[in-house]
A and B are shown apart, each in its own frame.
Chain A
Amino acid sequence: MLVPLKWLKEYVEIDVPVEQLAHSLTMTGTKVEGITKQGEGISNVVVGKICEIHPHPNADKLVVCHVDVGDRKLQIVTGAPNVKEGQLVPVALDGATLPGGHKIKATTLRGVESYGMLCSGQELGLTDEDYPGAEVDGILILQEEYPLGMDIREALGLDDQVLEFEITSNRPDCLSVVGIAREASVALNSPFEPPHIEVKPGVGDVNAEAKVLVQDPDLCPRYCARVVKDVKVGPSPLWMQRRLASAGVRPINNIVDITNYVMLEMGQPMHAFDLDKVAGRTIVVRRARDGEKLVTLDDKERVLNGDMLVIADIEKPIGLAGVMGGANTEITDGTKNILLESALFDRGIVRKTSKALGIRSEASLRFEKGLDIHNAMAALDRAAQLIQELGAGTVVEGVIDVCHGSLENRVLEISWKRVNGLLGINLSADEMADVLRRLEFKVEVKGEYMRIEVPSFRQDIEGVADIAEEVARIYGYNNIPMTLMEGTVTRGRKTGRQKLMDRVKEVLVGTGLYEVVTYSFTSPRVYESIGITDPQLIPKTVKILNPLGEDQSIMRTTLIPSLLEVLSRNRNRGMERCQIFEIGPAFLPKSLPLEDLPEEKPLLTIAEYGPDIDYYDLKGKIEVLLDEFGLLAEAEFVPHVHPTFHPGRTALLKLNGRETGLLGEVHPKVAQNYQLEERILVAELELDVLLNSAKEERKYRPLPKYPAVERDLALVVKKEVLSAQVERCIRELGGQLLEKVELFDVYEGAQIPEGYKSLAYSLSYRASDRTLTDEEINALHDSIVKGLEERLGARLR
């Protein structure tokens, strides 16, 4: 909401600087977003009259003007084609400045001296809305008489300041100059004077000129109308045009401008119909019929339905109630008689209509927030008054007023102690009543209670909390003391799960991974990018009905594509190493179409590349994580095939037999889809499986008292035999006395037959109660070797 300061000052006395006004309003709840000083940057530009125009001796396209600027005549060269002798124009004098910091100096143009510059509208930073004709190609030709030498800012009314307000949705009354003036008067404690409305007696009888039928009274609690005859449609006076322009509304013609002016002034949207085009001279307020069509004022054909409210005549719709008028009854230069509408429409239906059709008008913005039923009549009279004052037509005597709504004000009984209790302050009943009265509430204090009559323009006030806010904002939020809660002591702590989650991140960071944060919606095409082309394998997804774009239209079921994108971006930017993880939910629909909320299953995804990064690096990181939660012994890494991954370098992680996730090298084709040449390692684990299996208990095991004996074991096995199998065998065969098994060498090549590999283990034997003898160890070691031979066909190397 834009409000020119001069306009505001008509209704409230303001004798403080505009910055202070803005601060006072902001601190009482009417937030000022900005202050624009019109004509800022313009100096030494005056009104001048072109007395003579001569051709330039050295240039066809230039002319030499003699310009009277009041106290002297100047010779100025211009190239503009539209200057004529006798015109008044803006003249930038030697030393003038224009918006944007341009400086004007006397100069010589093709051998002729020029003591200034004639300005175009654009050079002054003006648009047609600021001043008619400002956007023409050429010099701005002033349309009224001004004293020569007058500061152009004064002449064009550019000396005002415009306040921009952020008006919250509960205060439609402040979408008006009068409403803001009312707030300013309370904020500054200075007198408020709303416009004095008086309509002179009209001619004839309105009831003989038009009829209003409201068919859906619940959707139109009040419809007021007046008729104006013999209107003379033309431009409205410049002062009105300028005010509208300053407030951001484009001037159109006197009738439309008056309706807009009243809307800005009083907050009540209005509409004018060309009465001679209203069939049967009858206004019918009704729901639209399905499929009915209307061309609105913006020349677009709209297809209507029964969820929309229209203004119609006896034949056809002529406007969308509270949203936009129809072209068929638009005010034109030939309009003779008009019907002025000032009504109250249901908030919901206006919003539904405007949303369904995608029209957001100044009118709909106000109606959907709830307007004052009394103001409809006042605004109608104000418009009639302006028509009379501007001589724009003859107002017909009388008003049509179809009112089904209640004109009674809301009355609340509020305990003033309760208000104090909510705010934590201690005002007396009288102090509180005084604040409310300044806001135009009628208050009677009756013991513990206040009987409060809420003014009709404050539809937002419903109960004690609302009254508390009114009291608090005028009392001053910053005068309310600060305390810390008394009462029940609560213990602030994280849940066990939250603590585990913190530890997961701590461990991962410790292994060299950076945490990333990526978008949780993505493209349905990512599955193809990560190699999942079989439609059977593409998961069901949660789809967004109104996404920003196709590539952000589904909720992700895996974090892998997002992380590959991050790797790709970092690789593109030249990083030779990128090691990252993210924890975030996969969104898994329970059924499609969605009838319940999807499952949000937290995933832990790791992705990395770098000079020393391979499968075993990634696995090592996961082992560190498993170890942290006491799960290393339960973990099983099973070779696995998945289209995203390298078929020979991928494992399924199982914890106690439960599938927990995948880890492995990304398939080269998938890496290529992300412009990645190097080996990419990725793991994705279901965090809940991990956290739910976590073993938090730790128990001390006594340190060994007797020495351990180490023996190496070098085996030759078939290539397909997995290290995990060998290790499991050794452990089973070794039993209690075998303390540790470590793989320390893997070898294939010379001396090893084709299709075989050598695995070298270091075995450590120990008993807790004695020193083992060589005989014992030899027997056990031999039995392990023998067992390996039997079970896995292993030979000693």
Chain B
Amino acid sequence: MKAELEQIRREAEQVLACVSNLQDLSNFRVEYLGKKGKLTQVLRGMGTLPLEERPKIGQLANEIRAYLEEEIEKRKKVLEEEALSQRLRDEVIDVTMPGRRHYRGKLHPLNIVLNEIKDIFLGMGFEIAEGPEVEWDYYNFEALNIPKNHPARDTQDTFYITENILLRTHTSPTQIRVMERQKPPIKIIVPGRVYRSDAVDATHSPIFHQVEGLVIDKNITMCDLKGVLDVFAKEMFGPQTKTQFRPHHFPFTEPSAEMDVSCTTCGGKGCRVCSYTGWIEILGAGMVHPKVLQYGGIDPEQYSGFAFGMGLDRITNLKYGIDDIRLLFENDIRFLEQF
């Protein structure tokens, strides 16, 4: 019987070495260790053995059982490893194939740029104010020191609704509205849509967008105007950006200025975009005219301030290199998805 057991062990060792998958392994276990397995069957013959031999044989059988269990476990690990590697090999995919598309939209480029502008000024302590697009002549012109029959009205060809109501030609009327309802310090920007009776071409649109700014407090100087706008330009167009201020005229500011930034395309060396001047005009600004402060109910002897206004469409076009304002209003998806 001992020899029989030894025979089983040798045989099992040989068979086990050839088992190549988990199913065969499981069959192997049943064949040798199962209730009707070879080992069990041999042990059934134990009754025929002399009593004193039984423990020895029993012990041997247990050893063999334990040994085989251990070998099966080892083999199982190896086979599982192999099976997993095989699966991983089988599951190779072409990772360069396109992903399944999740559709996400985008903000309009005008509003992407507006958000940037808002963030820059929020960071400098400005709040955001809004005003109506259909506006009183009084707020759009009169209170901004542009009386009826003033020639400055020519530069802002106006859509009228009635004699006294119009489509605002700039965001500046909101200056007065804010002054009327808020005491200094005032620090606001006013983004909004404006209207001028211009025929459409690559650089003109009867509807466009401005961002107005207004600061009123004690002791505000032209140095502050320059400082704030210089920070804005550097944040907007990059830290290497230079600014230049030229005298200009607006009825609602005095002194008035236009601000140029070093060309965003050529950096100031001169190119087609900047008409070979190295500079690009991006906004108008100035110290708030004393008459305008008075219209807003603020004493110009006590307070001073500055205001500025920029064309959002123009800045957007500059930033993205868009050469035709009409693209902004066409809303071709192939255009919108670029930003």
**Chain A residues within CB distance 8 Å of chain B:** 26-29, 31, 168-171, 347-348, 351-352, 368-369, 421-425, 463-466, 468-469, 472-473, 477-478, 480-495, 498, 505, 508-521, 542-548, 552, 555, 566, 569-570, 573, 575, 577-581, 585, 587, 593-594, 597-598, 600
- In this complex, what residue of B is CB-closest to A28? B247
Measured in the bound complex, the distance between the Cα atoms of B134 and A352 in whole Å is 25
* Complex contacts, B222 vs chain A, CB 8 Å: 422-424, 468, 472, 480
Contact across chains for B220 and A485 when beta carbons are under 8 A apart: yes
**Chain B residues within CB distance 8 Å of chain A:** 103-108, 110-111, 118, 121-128, 132-136, 148-152, 154-155, 159-162, 165, 167, 185, 187, 193, 195, 197, 199, 206-207, 215, 217-224, 226-228, 230-231, 244-249, 251, 254-257, 287, 289-290, 304, 328-334, 336-337
* Complex contacts, A579 vs chain B, CB 8 Å: 103, 105
Contact across chains for A514 and B105 when beta carbons are under 8 A apart: yes
* Complex contacts, A347 vs chain B, CB 8 Å: 149, 151
Measured in the bound complex, the distance between the Cα atoms of B136 and A489 in whole Å is 33
Contact across chains for B104 and A509 when beta carbons are under 8 A apart: yes
Measured in the bound complex, the distance between the Cα atoms of B186 and A487 in whole Å is 12
Contact across chains for A488 and B185 when beta carbons are under 8 A apart: yes
Contact across chains for A512 and B185 when beta carbons are under 8 A apart: no
Contact across chains for B247 and A518 when beta carbons are under 8 A apart: no
- In this complex, what residue of B is CB-closest to A497? B130
Given A29-B248, A509-B107, A485 and B151 touching (CB < 8 A)?
A: no
Contact across chains for A515 and B108 when beta carbons are under 8 A apart: yes
Contact across chains for B334 and A505 when beta carbons are under 8 A apart: no
Contact across chains for A594 and B255 when beta carbons are under 8 A apart: no
A interface, over-half SS: loop
* Complex contacts, A170 vs chain B, CB 8 Å: 249, 251
Contact across chains for A570 and B332 when beta carbons are under 8 A apart: yes
Given A31-B248, A468-B287, A485 and B228 touching (CB < 8 A)?
A: yes
Can you name 18 extra interface pairs (CB under 8 A) apart from A348-B148, A512-B105, A580-B105?
A351-B149, A421-B221, A422-B222, A469-B254, A469-B256, A483-B221, A484-B224, A510-B104, A515-B336, A516-B331, A517-B329, A546-B197, A548-B197, A552-B206, A555-B134, A570-B331, A587-B133, A600-B132
- In this complex, what residue of A is CB-closest to B221? A424
B interface, over-half SS: mixed
- In this complex, what residue of A is CB-closest to B124? A492
Contact across chains for A492 and B151 when beta carbons are under 8 A apart: no
Contact across chains for B160 and A546 when beta carbons are under 8 A apart: yes
Measured in the bound complex, the distance between the Cα atoms of B217 and A489 in whole Å is 11
Contact across chains for B108 and A517 when beta carbons are under 8 A apart: yes
Partner of B104, one of A512, A547, A581: A512
Given A28-B247, A518-B329, A597-B135, A480 and B105 touching (CB < 8 A)?
A: no
* Complex contacts, B195 vs chain A, CB 8 Å: 521
Contact across chains for B248 and A516 when beta carbons are under 8 A apart: no
* Complex contacts, B256 vs chain A, CB 8 Å: 469
Given A510-B104, A518-B331, A587 and B149 touching (CB < 8 A)?
A: no
Contact across chains for A26 and B246 when beta carbons are under 8 A apart: yes
* Complex contacts, A491 vs chain B, CB 8 Å: 125
Given A484-B228, A509-B104, A578 and B249 touching (CB < 8 A)?
A: no
Measured in the bound complex, the distance between the Cα atoms of B121 and A498 in whole Å is 15
Contact across chains for A515 and B111 when beta carbons are under 8 A apart: yes
Measured in the bound complex, the distance between the Cα atoms of B231 and A639 in whole Å is 54
* Complex contacts, A593 vs chain B, CB 8 Å: 162
- In this complex, what residue of A is CB-closest to B121? A492
Given A546-B197, A548-B197, A487 and B218 touching (CB < 8 A)?
A: yes
Contact across chains for A515 and B107 when beta carbons are under 8 A apart: yes
Contact across chains for A487 and B185 when beta carbons are under 8 A apart: yes
* Complex contacts, A493 vs chain B, CB 8 Å: 122, 127
Measured in the bound complex, the distance between the Cα atoms of B103 and A593 in whole Å is 46
* Complex contacts, B136 vs chain A, CB 8 Å: 597
Measured in the bound complex, the distance between the Cα atoms of B151 and A514 in whole Å is 42
* Complex contacts, B231 vs chain A, CB 8 Å: 484
Contact across chains for B122 and A492 when beta carbons are under 8 A apart: yes
Measured in the bound complex, the distance between the Cα atoms of B223 and A486 in whole Å is 11
* Complex contacts, B197 vs chain A, CB 8 Å: 546, 548
- The 25 listed contacts between A and B (C-beta, < 8 Å) are A27-B246, A29-B249, A168-B249, A424-B224, A468-B222, A473-B247, A477-B226, A481-B226, A482-B226, A485-B220, A490-B126, A490-B187, A492-B123, A492-B187, A493-B122, A494-B118, A495-B127, A510-B105, A515-B111, A517-B331, A519-B207, A544-B159, A548-B197, A580-B105, A593-B162
Shortest 5 CB-CB contacts between residues of A and residues of B: A424-B221, A29-B247, A424-B223, A469-B255, A168-B249
Given A492-B127, A546-B159, A597 and B329 touching (CB < 8 A)?
A: no
* Complex contacts, B127 vs chain A, CB 8 Å: 490, 492-495
Contact across chains for B151 and A368 when beta carbons are under 8 A apart: yes
Given A484-B228, A492-B122, A498-B128, A516 and B246 touching (CB < 8 A)?
A: no
Give the Cβ gap from A397 to chain B, nearest Cβ, in Å. 38
Measured in the bound complex, the distance between the Cα atoms of B136 and A153 in whole Å is 55
- In this complex, what residue of B is CB-closest to A562? B331
* Complex contacts, A348 vs chain B, CB 8 Å: 148-149
Contact across chains for B128 and A464 when beta carbons are under 8 A apart: no
